[in-house]
């Protein structure tokens, strides 16, 4: 009978593999529980985690009244059904950023397997057919607790991950130290880090062999990965994007990279919830500037009050960029925005040189990002003509005000922005377009106690521009809806969906011959309602 019992476990094993994959996905998106993010997600999503089909394992108590063969058949049938239902529900979900099967995830799977084997071995060894219903209840219970088992596996693996981290950090440090002529640049800010990094890299590559961290590789693991696996020994310049969720993270990255040059984009409310206050965000971002040596160079935004009001600890040289103050080291004027790109004029204070630049990028915020890049490129010895060439070459970034065609519809894909400044700019860009204007958005997240206020204001901005509004997630988008109502927006033109996939057939139905659709703030899977 023991062998038939073991065979009966096969369907629940298939289900467990799928369920573990989802739990691993959430763990990965929550930074492997850094700052208890995964644990908080489990608590905040208790219905998703615990109110599941497999909760019906409690009915296995009724198997006490059935014979062995019938009990085993019911158990098999139950998990075949649960597996089928779960697999179908997963198919319907939109995965914005799928699980990446890294070496760390493989190690977690192994530890998880060991945990389950240890949990089940005692009942296999001491198997007695009369206790079959108890075994099935027990197995159902530990499968139901899968998300917590994944968290336990992550805790068990922490010492191993620490050793792996140290190994790859030393390897990256050794490679950096061997490149004695490498110019190191750090870029941080609440918004615009990736855009500025890519703009600077495109400009500097006109003269130098510049390398920038790929995509959004802005964590310690991302930086180490970029250095160890992507950076070439012939690179002249290394541009490191540095992200942070809390105080001290930028300092850790700056101490690791040791940049001589730095750009601080814009300071705002991104990750306000994890930082605790805007003042903490300000201090956290300036950890990069304060780490610069005395002969270092920092590029700052004179139009950002959080940058102007900060008392620098470093004695580095500061280059200011501004659209409002002619005393800035790089003064920007005559900005001409259109649906095909942007033109603007820069005046270089040190040489009084004046030049017009042209880019295919859209929006005012991109002008700041490009101009900070121009200021540093000029400092690093590029001529104005070389910089002009570089600015023209700046490529649009995937999911950041990226123009795409979907039949007769022009999509403005701004899915990777989720902050008040970026969202307003995206709506302003949509407003420049000559045609019907539709927005698809689930709103903004991680804004602490300001989340309702900022999303409501976002709704008011939308009301002034958009002909049709598609909101994704009824609860999440309520503040936007309230903002729309404050502006007396026609409720007949508001559509509320629970899955962004449903938005595409709807936008086609709502479109005219000339239609522009803004996809704004496509939230990660952890925020699906």
Q: Which tens digits make up the pLDDT trace of 466-495?
A: 999 999 988 889 999 999 999 999 999 999
The mean of the pLDDT values for the chain is: 92
C-alpha span between 372 and 363 (Å, rounded): 15
Running DSSP on this structure, what letter comes out for residue 269? S
503 pLDDT tier (thresholds 50, 70, 90): confident
Beta bridge mates, 237: 183, 210
C-alpha span between 246 and 448 (Å, rounded): 13
Backbone angles phi, psi at 520, to 5 degrees: -115, 125
Lowest mean pLDDT, pick from 205-209, 232-236, 521-525: 521-525
Q: Which tens digits make up the pLDDT trace of 117-150?
A: 999 999 999 999 999 999 999 999 999 999 999 9
- Quick one: pLDDT at residue 526? 46
Burial level of 121, CB count in 10 A (0-12/13-18/19+)? exposed
Beta strands of 171-313 (E only): which ranges? Answer: 183-188, 210-212, 237-241, 261-264, 297-301
Please report where in the chains the tokens 């601080």 appear, as a residue: 264
Cα–Cα distance list, 347 to 130, 252, 490 (Å): 87, 36, 45
Closest CA to 237 of 195, 197, 201, 263: 201
C-alpha span between 52 and 315 (Å, rounded): 58
Q: What are the b/e assignments for 180-211, b being 16+ CB within 10 Å?
A: eebbbbbbbbbbbbbbbbbbbbbbbbbbbebb
- Quick one: pLDDT at residue 523? 57
Greater confidence (65 vs 407) lies with 65
Beta strands 468-472 and 436-441: pairing type? Answer: parallel
Closest CA to 23 of 528, 529, 526: 526
The DSSP result for 273-319, as a single string, is: HHH-SHHHHHHHHHHHHHTS-TT-EEEEETT-HHHHT---SS--EEE
CATH 3.40.1190.10 region(s) of the chain?
179-393
Specify the 3-state DSSP secondary structure of 410: strand
Contact 343, 364 (CB under 8 A): no
- Quick one: pLDDT at residue 93? 64
- Quick one: pLDDT at residue 98? 83
Tokens of residue 419, six digits: 């902050």
- Quick one: pLDDT at residue 138? 97
Q: What is the mean pLDDT of residues 310-337?
A: 95
- Quick one: pLDDT at residue 448? 76
95 pLDDT tier (thresholds 50, 70, 90): low
Long-range contacts of 117-120 (CB under 8 A, 24+ apart): 120/9
Q: Which tens digits make up the pLDDT trace of 20-34?
A: 999 999 999 888 998
- Quick one: pLDDT at residue 500? 77
- Quick one: pLDDT at residue 369? 95
Q: What is the mean pLDDT of residues 462-467?
A: 96
Lowest mean pLDDT, pick from 210-219, 320-329, 346-355: 210-219
Residue 365 parent element (H or E): helix 364-379
Q: What is the mean pLDDT of residues 168-181?
A: 96
Greater confidence (452 vs 96) lies with 452
Q: Which residues lie below 8 Å from residue 179, measured CB to CB, with a gap of 6+?
A: 233, 235, 238
Contact 34, 161 (CB under 8 A): no
Q: Is the pLDDT of residue 396 over 70?
A: yes
- Quick one: pLDDT at residue 527? 47
Burial level of 79, CB count in 10 A (0-12/13-18/19+)? buried
Q: Alpha-carbon Rg of the chain, whole angstroms?
A: 27
Greater confidence (53 vs 419) lies with 53
Q: What is the mean pLDDT of residues 74-101?
A: 84
Backbone angles phi, psi at 434, to 5 degrees: -100, 90
Q: What percent of the chain has pLDDT over 70?
A: 97
Please report where in the chains the tokens 């917590």 appear, as a residue: 148
- Quick one: pLDDT at residue 522? 64
Q: Strand order of the sheet with strand 494-497?
A: 402-406, 409-414, 515-520, 436-441, 468-472, 494-497
Greater confidence (108 vs 418) lies with 108
Q: Which residues lie below 8 Å from residue 436, measured CB to CB, with a gap of 6+?
A: 467, 468, 510, 511, 512, 514, 515, 516
Contact 469, 494 (CB under 8 A): yes
Greater confidence (528 vs 435) lies with 435
Contact 281, 190 (CB under 8 A): yes
Q: Which tens digits make up the pLDDT trace of 288-299?
A: 999 999 999 999
Closest CA to 182 of 228, 142, 233: 233
Q: Which tens digits make up the pLDDT trace of 359-389?
A: 999 888 899 999 999 999 999 999 999 999 9
Backbone angles phi, psi at 521, to 5 degrees: 60, 65
C-alpha span between 174 and 166 (Å, rounded): 12
- Quick one: pLDDT at residue 190? 87
Tokens of residue 493, six digits: 């033109």
CATH 3.90.190.20 region(s) of the chain?
402-527
- Quick one: pLDDT at residue 92? 63
Q: Which residues lie below 8 Å from residue 218, measured CB to CB, with a gap of 6+?
A: 193, 194, 241, 242, 243
- Quick one: pLDDT at residue 19? 94
Q: Which tens digits make up the pLDDT trace of 489-499?
A: 999 999 999 87
- Which CATH number does 179-393 carry? 3.40.1190.10
Q: What is the mean pLDDT of residues 352-365?
A: 92
Q: Is the pLDDT of residue 82 over 70?
A: yes
Beta bridge mates, 264: 188
Q: Which CATH class is domain 402-527?
A: alpha beta
Beta bridge mates, 272: none
């Amino acid at each position: 009978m023991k062998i038939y019992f073991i065979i009966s476990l096969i369907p629940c094993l298939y289900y467990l593999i799928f369920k573990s994959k989802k739990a691993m996905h959430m763990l990965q998106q929550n930074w492997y529980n850094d700052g208890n993010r995964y644990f908080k997600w489990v608590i905040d999503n208790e219905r998703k985690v615990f109110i599941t089909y497999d909760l019906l394992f409690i009915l296995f108590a009724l198997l006490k009244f059935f014979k062995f063969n019938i009990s085993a058949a019911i158990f098999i049938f139950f998990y075949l059904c649960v597996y089928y239902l779960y697999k179908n529900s997963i198919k319907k979900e939109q995965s914005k950023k799928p699980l990446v099967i890294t070496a760390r995830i493989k190690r977690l799977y192994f530890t998880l397997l060991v945990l389950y084997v240890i949990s089940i071995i005692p009942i296999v060894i001491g198997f007695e057919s009369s206790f079959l219903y108890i075994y099935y209840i027990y197995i159902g219970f530990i499968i139901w607790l899968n998300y917590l088992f994944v968290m336990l596996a992550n805790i068990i693996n922490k010492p191993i991950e620490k050793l792996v981290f140290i190994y790859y950090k030393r390897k990256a440090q050794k490679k950096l130290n061997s490149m004695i002529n490498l110019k190191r640049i750090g870029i941080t800010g609440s918004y615009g880090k990736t855009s500025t990094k890519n703009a600077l890299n495109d400009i500097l590559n006109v003269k130098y062999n510049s390398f920038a961290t790929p995509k959004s590789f802005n964590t310690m693991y991302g930086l180490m990965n970029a250095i160890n696996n992507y950076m070439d020994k012939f690179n002249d310049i290394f541009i490191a994007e540095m992200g942070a969720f809390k105080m001290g993270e930028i300092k850790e990255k700056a101490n690791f990279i040791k940049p001589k040059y730095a750009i601080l984009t814009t300071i705002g409310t991104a990750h306000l919830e994890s930082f605790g206050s805007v003042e903490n965000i300000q201090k956290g971002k300036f950890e990069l500037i304060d780490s610069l040596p005395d002969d270092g160079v920092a590029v700052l935004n004179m139009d950002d009050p959080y940058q102007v009001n900060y008392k620098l600890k470093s004695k580095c040289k500061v280059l200011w960029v501004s659209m409002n103050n002619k005393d800035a080291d790089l003064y920007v004027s005559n900005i001409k925005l259109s649906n095909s790109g942007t033109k603007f004029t820069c005046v270089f204070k040190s040489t009084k040189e004046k030049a017009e630049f042209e880019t295919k990028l859209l929006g005012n915020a991109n002008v700041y990002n490009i101009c900070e890049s121009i200021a540093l490129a000029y400092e690093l010895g590029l001529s104005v003509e070389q910089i002009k060439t570089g600015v023209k070459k700046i490529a649009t970034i995937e999911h950041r005000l990226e123009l795409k065609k979907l039949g007769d519809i022009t999509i403005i894909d701004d899915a990777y922005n989720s902050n008040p400044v970026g969202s307003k700019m995206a709506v302003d860009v949509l407003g420049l377009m000559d045609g019907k204007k539709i927005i698809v958005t689930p709103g903004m997240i991680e804004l602490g106690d300001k989340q309702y206020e900022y999303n409501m204001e976002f709704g008011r901005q939308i009301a002034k521009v958009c002909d049709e509004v598609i909101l994704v997630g009824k609860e999440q988008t309520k503040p936007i809806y309230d903002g729309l109502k404050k502006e007396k927006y026609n409720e007949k033109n508001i559509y509320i969906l629970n899955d962004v996939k449903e938005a595409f057939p709807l936008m086609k139905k709502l479109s005219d011959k000339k239609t522009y659709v803004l996809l704004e703030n496509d939230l990660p899977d952890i925020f699906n309602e």
